[in-house]
Amino acid sequence: MARDFDGEITAGALPAPEEAVALYRAAKWWGEENDFGAMRKMLENSFAVVCARSGGKLVGMMRAISDGISDAYMLDLVVAPEYRRRGIGKRLTDFLAAHLETCGIEWIVCIGVPGTENVYGKCERASAMAGHTPWRFRAGSSSGC
């Protein structure tokens, strides 16, 4: 049975790059070759970052990139393995979507890997994008559109 999360979800203050890297590494997203400078740049270039903390420890986060006017893309939902299945992913996603809406952004998207339907499908504002097809553009691709 899933345990509830009794920590806090916040937006505004960026996490320290060191604690964000530790979270990414715990989730097996980053290896030792990834450095704090890259994380600092990722965080600073994000339009918004929301954090889940338990006892002051960063246990989850999600970020968004946006033009700040019309569109936003939510990405990098990560939760520490020992804090999963407590509703943190859903809370982070709902909190970030609500925050973006308060900024006047109406077109908010998130593309999840297979298996994330269980998280995103439970979110208050989420619905499948019927009639839309996501595309991925690879760096260095010479095939064009």
Which distant-in-sequence residues (6+ apart) come within 8 Å of 70 by Cβ?
Answer: 105, 106, 107
58 located within any domain: yes
What is the number of structural domains in the chain?
A: 1
Give residue-wise pLDDT tens across range 74-128.
999 999 999 999 999 999 999 999 999 999 999 999 988 777 777 887 888 777 7
Q: Please compute Rg for the chain using Cα positions.
A: 16
CATH code of residue 91: 3.40.630.30
Q: How far apart are CA 141 and CA 138, in angstroms?
A: 6
Question: Are the C-beta atoms of 59 and 31 separated by less than 8 Å?
Answer: no
135 located within any domain: no
141 located within any domain: no
136 located within any domain: no
**Overall pTM > 0.75:** yes
Give residue-wise pLDDT tens across range 12-54.
899 999 999 999 999 988 877 778 899 999 999 999 999 999 9
**How many CA atoms, within 13 angstroms, populate the side-chain half-sphere of residue 22?**
8
49 located within any domain: yes
Question: Are the C-beta atoms of 51 and 58 separated by less than 8 Å?
Answer: yes
- Assign 1 a pLDDT band (cuts: 50, 70, 90): very low
Helix (H, G, I), strand (E, B) or coil at 22: helix
Domain residues for the domain of 63 are 8-120
